[in-house]
Chains A and B, each alone.
Chain A
């Protein structure tokens, strides 16, 4: 059971999750439900106030665990004064990735950033920066992907690319945990739902079995 407090505020209370390889999990809940807190704990960016987060049975703060995690959040983690390529190269060098130039070229092509490779990040729009941020996440081919509102600011073509990736990665045995306020889009990509409210997990199970009272008003119940 993991909890995270900020002073008196319980951002997450008694959360218990077990994530298997190849799972695609949708984190869903209103603002302040604890989605970002949970993702940050899973990404090893924060330590829980109570409980432990384990990766493969061992503490998630170990370097080996971190190497297997990719995290995209509201912050892009990009240096505005560096170009797109320089940012990717920097993070690639931190992970000591082999064949780095090939990986960078592939990531640039995947997220349609080839023509912006030499552009400083501060000159890019918010949506373009989000694309660079996603390219950074996929650069080291993580086994465990954590995406906090990944569709925010993306154009339709990049949303389609990301949706394809989110369908493909679990097939390759990689786990994906992502949050979105667009329930229908999320439900189309995930098999499992973790619904949060006021820092507590209200539901954790197959999307097909979600109680109707947890669904947003406009959403249809996903087909099993």
Chain B
């Protein structure tokens, strides 16, 4: 019960901070939309072309929007050494990770909805026929990506070149889940039978579980460094 109180305290705090300054979500959405918008000029929108390029394009914009999210998430904590303030509390460091991860998951989820909606308009592509599977794939891959991003966001926050260090540290680890996202999304958007991309979904689910648990266990050492 106490764990839930702590997780919700951190989650609500992050939401409140974001509500007050509205910096993170705005930057994520603008950046993601810009990527989708600019690629609109690179190829002629049409169902075949969109099907071929849209999954990769979406995951590139999700990935970069995520980087902004993770950097901002810990920039707030760096100010006035707030992360140390949390470390001082008699709190399991893993719970701090879970609270921050949930907040980042919500922020990236909102940005993804905005980006997908804009992409469906600009590329004249309907996600509705495959929405159920596309939503599941996006949720699982985003969860894994956010787990890695939150962990490495905390690691990078302690370095001098933190804005540069985060993508350098995070992308190599996140590559499997991004590939799974692209491959499974392509299958789902094409309308292929789920069995053809189930392996990618399993990979994304496994990645999310493993990295969430690993990050939960290792966050104590990240806070101390």
The 9 closest A-B pairs by CB, nearest first: A77-B85, A75-B81, A67-B90, A93-B9, A94-B89, A81-B20, A66-B90, A63-B90, A81-B17
> Considering only CB atoms, which chain B residue lies closest to A86 in the complex?
B16
Contact A80 B5 (CB under 8 A): no
Residue of A at shortest CB range from B1?
A: A96
A71 CA / B13 CA spacing, docked (Å): 21
Flag whether B2 is at the interface (Cβ < 8 A).
yes
Given A76-B80, A82-B16, does the pair A95, B90 have CB atoms closer than 8 Å? yes
B128 interface residue, CB < 8 Å from A?
no
19 contacts between A and B (CB under 8 A): A45-B87, A66-B88, A66-B90, A69-B88, A75-B81, A77-B80, A77-B82, A77-B84, A78-B82, A79-B79, A81-B16, A82-B16, A86-B13, A90-B13, A91-B89, A94-B9, A96-B2, A96-B5, A136-B85
Asked whether, in the complex, the Cβ of B88 is within 8 Å of the Cβ of A44, the reply is yes
Contact partner, B84, options A45, A63, A80, A96, Cβ 8 Å: A45
Instruction: Please classify the interface of chain A as helix (H, G, I), strand (E, B), loop, or mixed, using the class held by over half of its residues.
Output: loop
Of chain B, the residue at the smallest CB distance from A81 is B20
Known contacts A47-B224, A90-B9, A93-B5, A77 near B16 by CB under 8 Å:
no
Contacting residues, chain A, for B2 (C-beta < 8 A): 96
Decide yes or no whether A120 CB sits under 8 A from chain B: yes
Q: What is the number of residues of chain A that contact chain B, defined by CB distance less than 8 Å?
A: 29
User: Does B6 lie at the interface of the complex (its beta carbon under 8 Å from any beta carbon of A)?
Assistant: yes
Can you add 14 more A-B contacts, CB < 8 Å, to A69-B88, A81-B76, A136-B85? A44-B87, A46-B224, A63-B90, A66-B89, A73-B81, A75-B84, A75-B85, A77-B88, A81-B16, A82-B17, A86-B13, A91-B85, A94-B90, A95-B89
Q: Confirm or deny: B163 has a beta carbon within 8 angstroms of a beta carbon on chain A.
A: no
A64 at the interface (CB under 8 A from B): yes
Residue A104 at the chain B interface, CB threshold 8 Å: no
Instruction: Please indicate the chain B residues that have their CB under 8 angstroms from the CB of A120 in the complex.
Output: 20
Which residues of chain B (1-51) have a CB below 8 Å from chain A? 2, 5-6, 9-10, 13, 16-17, 20-21
Contacts of B224 in A (CB 8 A): 46-47
Which B83-112 residues have a C-beta within 8 angstroms of A?
Answer: 84-92
A121 to chain B, nearest CB (A): 8
Q: How far is the CA of A39 from the CA of B216 in the complex (A)?
A: 28
Q: CA of A96 to CA of B9 in the docked complex: distance in angstroms?
A: 10
What number of A-B contacts does a CB cutoff of 8 Å give? 75
Q: Determine if A43 is an interface residue (Cβ-Cβ < 8 Å).
A: yes
- Interface 1/0 per residue, B138-160 and A, CB below 8 Å: 00000000000000000000000
Q: Decide if A94 touches B86 in the complex (CB within 8 Å).
A: yes
Q: Are B79 and A80 in contact, with the CB atoms below 8 A?
A: yes
Q: Give CA–CA (A68, B167) in the complex, Å.
A: 38
Give which listed residue, B6, B13, B21, B81, contacts A96 with CB less than 8 A.
B6
8 Å CB contacts to B: which residues of A49-67?
63-64, 66-67
Contact B6 A93 (CB under 8 A): yes
A contact residues around B9 at 8 Å (CB): 90, 93-94
Complex CA distance for A151 and B16, rounded to whole angstroms:
31
A45 contacts B88, C-beta separation under 8 Å: yes
- Asked whether, in the complex, the Cβ of B92 is within 8 Å of the Cβ of A79, the reply is no
Q: Is the CB of A77 within 8 A of B81?
A: yes
Give chain A residues whose Cβ lies under 8 Å from the Cβ of B5: 93, 96
A82 to B86, CA, bound (A): 15
Complex contact B88–A75 (CB within 8 A): no
User: Roughly how many angstroms separate A93 CA and B85 CA in the complex, as a whole number?
Assistant: 13
A80 touches B90 (CB 8 A): no
Contact yes or no, A79 B89, CB < 8 A: no
Residue of A nearest to B8 (CB): A93
Report Cα–Cα, A81/B80, bound state, in Å: 12
Q: List the A residue with the shortest CB-CB distance to B6.
A: A94
